[in-house]
Structure formats: structure tokens, C-alpha cells
Structure 1
Amino acid sequence: MKATTPRKKPRSAAGSKPRYRTIWISDVHLGTPDCKAEHLVEFLKRNDCETLYLVGDIIDGWRLRSTWFWPQEHTNVVRKILTKAKRGTQVLYVTGNHDEFLRKFVGYELEIGNIRLVNEHVHETADGRRLLVLHGDLFDVITRYHRWIALAGDALYNGTMRFNQWFNRGRALFGMRYWSLSAFAKQHVKTAVNVISTFETSLAHECQRRELDGVVCGHIHHAEARDIDGVTYYNCGDWVESCTALAEDFDGKIHVVRWVELDHLNRTAPAVVPTPKLRDAA
């Protein structure tokens, strides 16, 4: 690994918005009722970066093929990203399985202004680490080899989100915190835990094979930063339920940013939540 000298974070006036070297977001699912577009617009408005990665499933082509849903809030997300690109932010759109219709254009090396379309990319951090950036669906055995199961699972997930919405409205009436059935299943249902574990381990092994230091992905809607067999695994999370992103400082440290707490998701105004820095596994 070549040695690099981390650049200092540019000074900014008091009260100005935070500026990062890199921001990663994934699994926005524009075109679905569950997309928290208003929170994402607020996040993009209040945070600047040199490079913005859109790590797949930004647009939900699966859902839009069956039911058209596109309110003004979703257009606002697109406009905010285009504005950032116009003002100098390099934007890389990494294709995912829900926006796989874009993959046929990658071979044309499509690049419009500061927006580039790719299937994957190797990102070099300020401290010299090389990270594979991809959505991750090709390392999900269900999505890759059993498409009908993936489609059924997607329908089940959407139904779960509908149930969650009504269930948590009832909990709110009794002053109870937001509770996520999908998050509970991912962490406690043995089959789901095994599938996620296999997914994460497969990505780590791919990085080892390519002699890379880590991976940044999305797909499973669970933000995380941890070490797997000597490989640094980062997941962006999602903007359907958790409203999370990854941000790289100008010294190369990468942190999970939790934009809102779960119990604020049904409120109108995003609540900015300070997040402690994660251990940087170089």
C-alpha cells in the first residue's frame, strides 16, 4: 500500500455545513412510498463532499414497472444530486439490482457532467486504503440465482413496511418508541442471519482475492462498519427505514452517519443525531 499524506479538512466559517471528502448513500428506492426522500434532501442540503457515491437501488425500477409512484419529494432528491454535480461534486452512480436497467448503459462509459455510471469502483481513501465500492447484490445467492425468491422477498418486505407503518402509529399513541420488524428479523431470525453472514463473508473474500483493503456496499439495508477476516466491511444502510450514510473525513476515517433516530421517522422534520466516531480499521 503506498503511503499518502492525508489532506487537512478545509477550514469553514462557523455555522457552515460540514464538508467531507466522500459520502456514500445507497438503497434510496425512489419510486416507492417507503422512501424517506424528505430526510435525504435535508441530509444532502446540510452536508457537502468532494465525491458522492450512489451505491445502488437509488431508483426502484422493480416497483415502478408495476406501479407508478413519483411524488415531488422524489424529484427534489434528483434535483439536489444534480445541483451538487453542477457545483463540482463528483457523483458516481453504482448500479444495483433494483436499478439494474441502468447496467446495460455502463458499457458505453456514460458520463454526464460530473456524474458517472459504473457497476463498481475502487475508491482510495485519504490514508491510502483501497476499497471496493459496489451494491453487493451479485454476492447475494438468492438475488443472483433465485430471482423469483428475490421478487417474492421484495413483496414480503414491502408488506412488512406497510405493517410497520400502522403498527408504529399505534405504538406512538402510547408514547412508545419506533420498532422495526424487518430489522428484528435480520438480527434474530436464523435463516436471515445466515444469509446476511454469507453475503458479508463473500464480499470480504472477494476483497482478499483482489488484494483490496475493504468494501463499501449496500443491498441489505443495515449500516455497519467492522472487520471481517482482516477486511474492513462498510455498509451504507438505507433511506427507507434507517436513514444512514457513510462519510469519509479528510484524514481517511470513515463513519456511519445516522441522520435520524428510528422514532423520528414518522415526523415531518429530520432530527440530526450526532454519531460517535467508529473505530477506524485500517
Structure 2
Amino acid sequence: MFRTRFAPSPNGSLHLGHAWAAIVAHDLARKRGGEFLVRVEDIDGARSRAELADEHLADLDWLGLHWDGPVVRQSERLESYAAAADRLRHMGLLYPCQCTRADVLAAAHADGPDGPLYPGTCRGRDMDSHGAAWRLDMAKSAALVGPLIWHDEIAGEQTARPELFGDVVLVRKDAPASYHLAATIDDAADSITLVTRGADLFAATHVHRLLQALLGLPVPVWHHHALLVEADGKKLAKRRGSPSLADRRRAGEDGRALADALRAGHFPAGISLGTGVGGGT
């Protein structure tokens, strides 16, 4: 069965960029006779708010985007993330890290796709794991699985380059799992065959492909779509105060007409291919 998903985080209201992402996932599923799933990524500590998850579902309904099956919530899957992390620990691939963001910033000598590249300060050290984050030993992991490829419907075949991220955090100090681990586990659990998301997350797929190989998970195809942007060329974002779908809905705007306008390419400001890191073969 062909399956896509839309996976919003209930830490802020949805905006037009989210509407576009949901439309892409929904329409690709419908055109191919498949299913469109909704997953709520609600494990981001106190930032996750149940009322916003309800708001997001109302927004999707307003846009005319109807999902298949029950809505899945990450908060119901904590055991699966813990089991995956335990498996990687038993493989000798995770190590505890007590470094703060300030520590990493001060010690980093280069930048990766997620920001300052972790220099491996805690790797190989004997330390208390209580309250620690857990990082993936990237060099050891990559050597274990060897060369990997993945396919994007727009960018084509890619050679996985997870080393770009260095030793990424898979279990956070303030959350049961990082985006990298949770999204990879969830997409496998939901039998997602096409992962659709913005081009700004292109580089993250290098890490996800590695995790799939380490954990023996199925490998989907990806579709990294272009991003809607503000007039200044920067992507729409909750933190920048982009107009919310909920405000438009409550003001009486026609959600289905808005969705059709986006499908027709009537973007309020513009669209960008994003800043993904490729490695085409």
C-alpha cells in the first residue's frame, strides 16, 4: 500500500507552509490510490500542547484534507524509541554526553547541517549517564553498514553522507528521542512508503538512512518539496509570526479555496528549493 504522512508538532499554530506540506503529502497519496496518515509529534516536553494538536486537525479538515485511519501520537510510542536506543547501545554505538549547547558551541571547529559540529568531547569517556543525552558514534556506525544510497523523487539517487552531522544526539536530555530517531522509527511503524517533507530537511535523510540500516528497517522513497517563503526570501516559520491557518479559519476564509490556490501555484510571496545538502550519484 502506498502511504504518505503529515506530521506536525503541536508547539505552535500551523501556517501556509504547513498547509503546503500537508497538501503535497495528501495529493500524492490520492493521485496514487494510497493512504494519507496524520501523526502528531508531541514529545517536545512542555512545548507540546494538546489543544494545538486539536487545532491542527481542525485546520486540515478546513483545508479539505482528510486522513486515513486514526491519528497517531508519538507520546503513545515511547517504548519503541527506548527499545531502538537500547538496541543501539547494545551494539556499542551510543554513548552518554553531558555537554551543554554552550559547551558544543565553544568547542566546535566546524558547522554541520544542524549547526556547530560536535567535536566528540564525551566519546570514549567513562561518565555518569544520569541525565545525559545519548549520541551516535557516527564513524563507528558508518563503518559497520558501509556505503548506503537513498532515492528522492525530485533529486534522484543519493549517496548517504551521515558524517556531515557528526555524532548526532538520538536521545535528548529533555525528550525521549530526537527527531532523527523518532521520525525514522515512526515511518517504519506506519509503513510509510513515501516520506514527504520540505527541502530544508533534505540533509536529515542521510542520518535517517543510516539508522534504517543499523536497525534493519524498511527503506522508503523520499520527496523533498520546495518551501513557501516570506517576501524577504526566508521560509515561513511559527517563530517569525507567519499568519496562522487557525486565524484564517476563524476569520471565515474559505480553506478549500486556499488549498486550491496553493495547488495552482498562487503563493503569497514565493517558493524556494531550500538549502538541502545533496550527494547525488
- TM-score class, shorter: 0.3 to 0.5
TM-score w.r.t. length of structure 2:
0.34
Normalised to the residue count of structure 1, the TM-score between the two structures is 0.34
